[in-house]
Amino acid sequence: MTRFARLAPAGAGRTIVPQPRGRRFQLSAALSWPLVLRNSTRIAALVLGLAATGLMPSGARAEDKLALTLKDHVFIPAELTVPAGKAFSIEVTNEDATAEEFDSDDLHVEKVIAAKSSGTIHIKPLKPGSYKFDGEYHDATAKGVLIAK
Amino acid sequence: MLGTLIIVFREVIEAGLVVGIVLSVTRGLAGRMPWILGGIFLGVAGALLLAIFAGTLAAALEGIGQELFNAAVLTTAVLMLTWHNVWMARHGREIAAEIQTVGKDVARGSRSLAALAVVVGIAVLREGSEVVLFLYGVALSGHDTVAAQITGGFLGLALGAGLSAFTYLGLVAIPTRYLFAVTGMLITFLAAGMAAQAVAFLEQADVITLMTDTVWDTSWLLTDSSIAGRVLHTLIGYVDRPTGMEVVAYVAVLAAMTLISRAFAHRPTGSKLSATAAQ
């Protein structure tokens, strides 16, 4: 509104006429902008997603797959070793009758594995070191460590 | 019992904070409670469904169904929060001045309420399904401590509800003139954190493969899994080891929401007009 006032000739601020016009413009904008806004956000997200995925389609890389089994709320094996600097995946098989959440702050992963089912977790290339993981619902027993060398 | 309590509480922190923030954000809007309670109710119903079909969802879309679902609902929440902030930028002053009562304004208010109800529903849905799966597992375990553990679970839920109340009371203690500026910022940070988390799920699904290197590591200071870490994760999107793309998404949403809200900011026409007209 301040812009209007500045552009208008001196004394125009006292007349009421320009004001309703400005206000009507805002109201129509209020009705139409949320849609444009939501679409543009979606488009931006899509562009970002495409840019991110364009270079490397998922599944195109050959990945080593490690097997990890959860039985009686214990991971078998409790220690996995992988080569550092190479992407890989872990197939977690949950043999228990209850679901478990595979959780690792170190690996930046959280994934629910339903009862009597399995799930694959993709891990990006790791620096050498050890990475802890656990089953969040039974973290007293379901513990393990992944070692990248 | 204490272990169960802590696990459940940790899971419901996010939903608890979101409900508390939404309650304070919608202060002064007529008819907000049916929307918020509706959002919670639908979130709980959805959480039960999600828990039942956890296996089906995880197996869907070549094994990345769960990650894509999480990324999708988080993105939806970000869009709803953005829309709400834009709406608030235009009408917050009127609400603060308590001049919004009847007619068209309430109709427009209900659209903003619908957006926030979706956000509440999503927060309850995501965390709730994990609570359901966990408590179901506890109930199935058949140990003689089941009753105590379930009690612990419900106490954890009660603590989550207490966190909502605490957040709400803390926020509404802020003087009305500043309340919406503060909640607007909270919502912006909430949305930025959710956007970063959506990216994390897409990285986990191997959909985003660019800039996935860890940018910094503050796990020595505060881990994601601690209670304080969870609270900060929800409030400002704290992650102890974020990837490059997560930081990009966080900053992008933060900047976009700030700029959009500013662009749509309510210009004080009415008061100036009456002041000049009175001369």
> For residue B183, what pLDDT is reported?
87
Q: Measure B207 CA to nearest chain A CA, in Å.
A: 6
User: With pLDDT > 70 as the criterion, what percentage of chain B qualifies?
Assistant: 87
Q: How many CB atoms lie within 10 A of CB B234?
A: 23
The number of domains in chain B is 1
Q: Would you say residue B128 has pLDDT above 60?
A: yes
Q: For residue B175, what pLDDT is reported? A: 87
Q: Report which of residues B91 and A7 the model is more confident about.
A: B91
Give a yes or no: residue B233 inside a domain. yes
A55 and B210 in contact by Cβ < 8 A? Answer: yes
Answer yes or no: are the C-beta atoms of B78 and B187 closer than 8 Å. no
Q: In the prediction, which pLDDT does B107 show?
A: 53
> Is residue B271 predicted with pLDDT exceeding 60?
no
In angstroms, the CA B117 to CA B41 distance is 10
Q: How far is CA B252 from the centre of its chain?
A: 18
Contact A105 B267 (CB under 8 A): no
Nearest CA in chain B to A46: B75
All residues of chain A having their beta carbon less than 8 Å from the beta carbon of residue B130 are 101, 112
Pick the range with the lowest mean pLDDT from B17-21, B27-31, B190-194.
B27-31
Look at B223 and A105 and tell me if their CB atoms are within 8 Å.
yes
Please tell me whether residue B239 adopts helix, strand or coil conformation.
Answer: coil
Strand A129-135 with A74-76, pairing: unpaired
Nearest to B172 by CA among B115, B96, B240: B96
Mean pLDDT of chain A: 73
Q: Is residue B207 part of a domain?
A: yes
How far is residue B234's CA from residue B223's CA, in Å, rounded to a whole number?
Answer: 13
Q: Does A55 touch chain B (CB under 8 A)?
A: yes
Report residue A12's pLDDT band, with 50, 70 and 90 as the boundaries. Answer: very low
pLDDT in tens, A52-99: 554 444 444 567 889 999 999 999 999 999 999 888 989 999 999 889
Contact yes or no for A98 and B267 at CB 8 A: no
- End-to-end CA distance of chain A, in Å? 64
Are residues A19 and B269, on separate chains, in Cβ contact within 8 Å? yes
Give pLDDT tens digits for A41-61. Answer: 555 555 555 555 544 444 445
Structure confidence at residue A27 (pLDDT): 42
Residue B46 has pLDDT above 90, yes or no: yes
Q: What is the pLDDT of residue B180?
A: 81
- pLDDT given at position B111: 74
B278 lies in a domain? no
Query: What pLDDT sits at residue B105?
Result: 55
Find the closest chain B residue to A93 by CA distance.
Answer: B55
pLDDT at A9 over 50: no
> What is the mean predicted confidence (pLDDT) over B127-155?
85
Give the one of B78, B208, B249 whose C-beta lies nearest to A53's C-beta: B208
- C-alpha–C-alpha distance, residues A74 and B274, integer Å: 72
Compute, in degrees rounded to 10, the torsion defined by CA atoms B154, B156, B161, B163: 170
Q: What's the pLDDT at B141?
A: 74
Is A34 touching B (CB cutoff 8 A)? Answer: yes
CB contact under 8 A, A105 and B224: yes
Inside any domain, residue B157: yes
Which positions ≥6 away from B144 have C-beta within 8 Å?
A: none
Per-residue pLDDT, B40: 94
Under CATH, domain A64-148 is a member of which superfamily?
Cupredoxins -  blue copper proteins (2.60.40.420)
pLDDT one-digit tens code per residue, B50-78: 998 888 888 888 888 999 999 999 999 99
Nearest CB partner across the interface for A117, out of B55, B205, B210: B55
Rg (Cα) of chain B, in Å, rounded?
20
pLDDT in tens, B173-199: 988 778 888 888 999 999 999 999 999
- pLDDT higher than 90, residue B38: yes
Most confident of B29-33, B129-133, B268-272: B129-133
Contacts of B55 in chain A (CB under 8 A): 114-117
Rounded to whole angstroms, the Cα distance separating A133 from B218 reads 18
User: For the segment B251-269, what is each residue's pLDDT rounded down to a tens digit?
Assistant: 999 999 999 888 877 655 5
Determine whether the interchain pair B59/A37 forms a contact, defined as Cβ–Cβ distance below 8 Å.
no
Q: Using a CB–CB cutoff of 8 Å, tell me whether A128 touches chain B.
A: no
Six token digits for residue B137: 């597992």
Q: Select from A14, A42, A137 the Cβ nearest to the Cβ of B134.
A: A137
Chain B hits for A56, CB-CB cut-off 8 Å, are: 209-210
- Quick check: B208 and A49 CB within 8 A? yes
A71-77, long-range: CB < 8 A, 24+ apart: A71/A95, A71/A96, A72/A96, A72/A141, A73/A100, A73/A135, A73/A138, A73/A141, A73/A142, A74/A141, A74/A142, A75/A133, A75/A135, A75/A142, A75/A143, A75/A144, A77/A144
Enumerate residues 89 to 118 of chain A having a beta carbon within 8 A of any beta carbon in chain B: 97-101, 103, 105-106, 108-117
Predicted local distance difference test score (pLDDT) of residue A122: 87
Q: What digits encode the pLDDT tens for the residues A113-134?
A: 998 899 988 888 888 999 999 9
Assess if residue B275 is contained within a domain. Answer: no
Long-range contact list for A111-117, CB < 8 A, 24+ apart? A111/B58, A111/B66, A111/B67, A111/B204, A112/B54, A112/B58, A112/B66, A112/B129, A112/B130, A112/B133, A113/A70, A113/B58, A114/B54, A114/B55, A114/B58, A115/B55, A116/B55, A117/A93, A117/B55, A117/B58, A117/B59
Q: Given pLDDT bands bounded at 50, 70 and 90, which one contains residue B109?
A: low
ipTM for this prediction:
0.77
Query: Is there a contact between A29 and A23 (Cβ–Cβ < 8 Å)?
Result: no
> Domain limits at B75?
2-265
Q: What is the DSSP letter of A126?
A: -
Domain definitions of chain A by residue range:
2-54, 64-148
Shortest distance, CA A109 to any CA of chain B (angstroms): 7
Taking contacts as CB-CB distances below 8 angstroms, the residues of chain B near A59 are 62, 206
